[in-house]
A and B are shown apart, each in its own frame.
Chain A
Amino acid sequence: DAKTTQPPSMDCAEGRAANLPCNHSTISGNEYVYWYRQIHSQGPQYIIHGLKNNETNEMASLIITEDRKSSTLILPHATLRDTAVYYCIVRAHQGGKLIFGQGTELSVKP
């Protein structure tokens, strides 16, 4: 599975959009981009995933560049409850294993 690179930490003001970047320059054609988040002392929570098209659900939007070498997770109106570590993971759709990198620690501030 391809490796991902994320900034270790980010801050965001409550009510503003949080844009979390992820680089995955070695992604291969059959690999999807998955995003999970982990609130302190809890199990990770699925957010969204995509292959090459932009995706949106009730939690977030995922923007994948045309060359698929990077992506951005967007939380449109961040709340204090969105404070968590966000993990960007690349894997084949039927790959099974999720290999976690270091993630981005997002702090949403009042």
Chain B
Amino acid sequence: GAVVSQHPSRVICKSGTSVKIECRSLDFQATTMFWYRQFPKKSLMLMATSNEGSKATYEQGVEKDKFLINHASLTLSTLTVTSAHPEDSSFYICSASPPSGSKNEQFFGPGTRLTVL
């Protein structure tokens, strides 16, 4: 299947700093990527839909100024957690769909574990 990568796999930062997470589709072009967050023992929560060349669409309750999303190319979307605080510590996961996939399934990255001290 198609491969989606994330970088970094884990990051520890101090409170108040900003952290950037990259999501790449390695062997296909993705006009749309999705960002999720997951707390321990909880399900994935969709944060936003990232559209190449346009503004992201955020889910209700997700602060767009806090979680900046940029989808500058067909293979790269970035999520920047600005002025991170301990409550932003979470597992962040991205996904993407190949545009011509007959199954229309989404492929997920391995996730990035963010710890804010």
Contact = CB atoms under 8 A, between A and B. Distances in A.
A102 B43 contact: yes
A43 B111 contact: yes
Interface in A91-110: 93-94, 96-103
Contacts of A99: 46
B34 interface: yes
A58 to B, nearest CB: 12
A46 B107 contact: yes
B110 A42 contact: yes
Interface string A44-71: 1110010000000000000000000000
Interface stretch (B60-68, B71-79, B82-90, B98-106): B98-106
Which of A93, A97, A99, A101 has the most CB atoms of chain B within a 10 A radius of its CB?
A97
Interface string B33-55: 01010000001111001000000
A96 B49 contact: yes
A17 to B, nearest CB: 23
Name the interface size band of chain A: 20 to 34
Contacts of B107: 46
Contacts of A94: 104
Interface residues of B, number: 25
B111 A100 contact: no
Contact of B91 (A41, A46, A49, A97): A41
A37 B77 CA distance: 24
A47 B6 CA distance: 21
Which of B46, B103, B107 has the most chain A CB within a 10 Å cutoff? B103
A96 B101 CA distance: 12
A96 B43 CA distance: 18
B34 A97 contact: yes
* For the complex of A and B, 4 pairs with smallest distance between CB atoms: A43-B108, A46-B105, A100-B44, A100-B43
